[in-house]
Structure 1
């Protein structure tokens, strides 16, 4: 009798890095950070929205070759938290619904076409591509199960994010749903610090009010004791 050897399936490793840099220059890096940080702030209070930048996305279990790392991505219906990569089968099979790419001089047309095909094939609903050197913005929206070009991006409002895109001759400006413009990382930090300072001031004011109330209570008790020692009922005054 010939015994059959049983083999254990080889574990598939999904690397957290692809060896490519996050950005090629400061302008591209600045845009990536601005978009990711503002989207993070926009959905900070929603525990079911995950925002990431330059995170490898693996859409197919068992396939560690099919992957890409959007400059910024948003996945609705997924919890916040740290991840080494976005492995879709571990994310309730939910793909990122919105992705952003910021072009640099090092990006090749073939590379970007492959990325667009990837996003189309794997379920992205909105795809935005910005070239800061040319100030050129393009967008695609899933229609009839395919990513279709958005004909007019001026004043376009993202269906998923609620943010608005406005282009001038010099630059692109993004606006939050409340109408405020996207802020730089430094401005966001300043805004956070100001909010913390205001919270501290409110807490100090509340503590001062508590102390004043306690002083008034103690003063009233002392007065009541003094009146009582004189045989006077303060409730009869």
Structure 2
């Protein structure tokens, strides 16, 4: 009957949708109570309201609970009414709302995108620097080759002058 090893759920959290009717929700609560669930909580996302029922030890029947500062006997979470109902983990940390989760997810996505852009910019800068260094290396190599060529040409011309009996190192009278 149930995917949890054949064990009926002990705690039910029901999120209402616009199509849910009051009669349908009463039938669901009766079904879950009849089948042994110890706790049942309904959340209405349109109003932000929570309602809860917990099995009373004395009667074995569900009793409605005041949600402000209610602590789930089974899972240990605490409900607190502030501007809206807030749910706390057993360790006291607050559960984030759907809006907060979405905002955090969007912020994380923006951060990832910004980091990706920074990385791409750094890669472009590194590539530009690499190209500049390569251009400088080629320029130095070209200058070295020109110097070697000029020295070779100067030596060739000195050899021609010597062959013609002209001393290239002599100064004019």
TM-score (norm 1): 0.38
Corresponding residue for residue 80 of structure 2? 166
Paired position in structure 2 for 1:111: 24
3-state secondary structure, aligned to 1:159: coil
Show CA shifts across 1:121-165 (max 9, x none). Answer: 000000001112222211101112211111x21011111111111
CA distance in structure 1 between the aligned counterparts of 2:22 and 2:55, rounded to whole angstroms: 22
Please give the alpha-carbon distance, in whole angstroms, between the structure 1 residues aligned to 2:23 and 2:39: 20
Unaligned runs of 5+ in 1: 1-57, 59-85, 191-237
Residues 91-128 of structure 1 show CA distances to partners (whole Å, capped at 9, x for unaligned) of: 2xx31110001112211111101100111100000000
Return the alpha-carbon distance in structure 1 between the equivalents of residues 29 and 54 of structure 2: 12
From 144, 148, 155, the equivalent of 2:63 is 148
Which structure carries more helix by proportion? 2
Provide Cα deviations, 1:31-53, integer angstroms capped at 9, x if missing partner: xxxxxxxxxxxxxxxxxxxxxxx
User: Shift in Å at residue 87 of structure 1?
Assistant: 4.8
CA distance in 1, matches of 2:82, 2:18: 21
- Matched position secondary structure for 2:28: helix
Aligned partner of 1:179 among 92, 110, 119:
92
Structure 2 Cα separation of the partners of residues 139 and 159 of structure 1? 12
Match of 1:81 in 2: none
Structure with larger RCO (C-alpha < 8 A, sep 6+): 1
CA RMSD of aligned residues (A): 2.1
Give 1:102's aligned residue.
Answer: 15
The superposition leaves residues 202-234 of structure 1 with CA deviations (integer Å, 9 ceiling, x where unpaired) of: xxxxxxxxxxxxxxxxxxxxxxxxxxxxxxxxx
CA change 1:117–1:87 in 2 (3 A) is same
How many residues align? The count is: 100
Task: Tell me the SS of whatever aligns to 2:62.
Answer: strand
Equivalent residue for 1:204?
Answer: none
Following TM superposition, the consecutive aligned residue runs of length 4 or more in structure 1 with deviations greater than 6 angstroms are none
Alignment deviations for residues 10-66 of structure 1 (CA, whole Å, 9 cap, x no partner) = xxxxxxxxxxxxxxxxxxxxxxxxxxxxxxxxxxxxxxxxxxxxxxxx3xxxxxxxx
* SS, match of residue 25 in structure 2: helix
Q: Distance in 2 between matches of 1:120 and 1:147?
A: 7
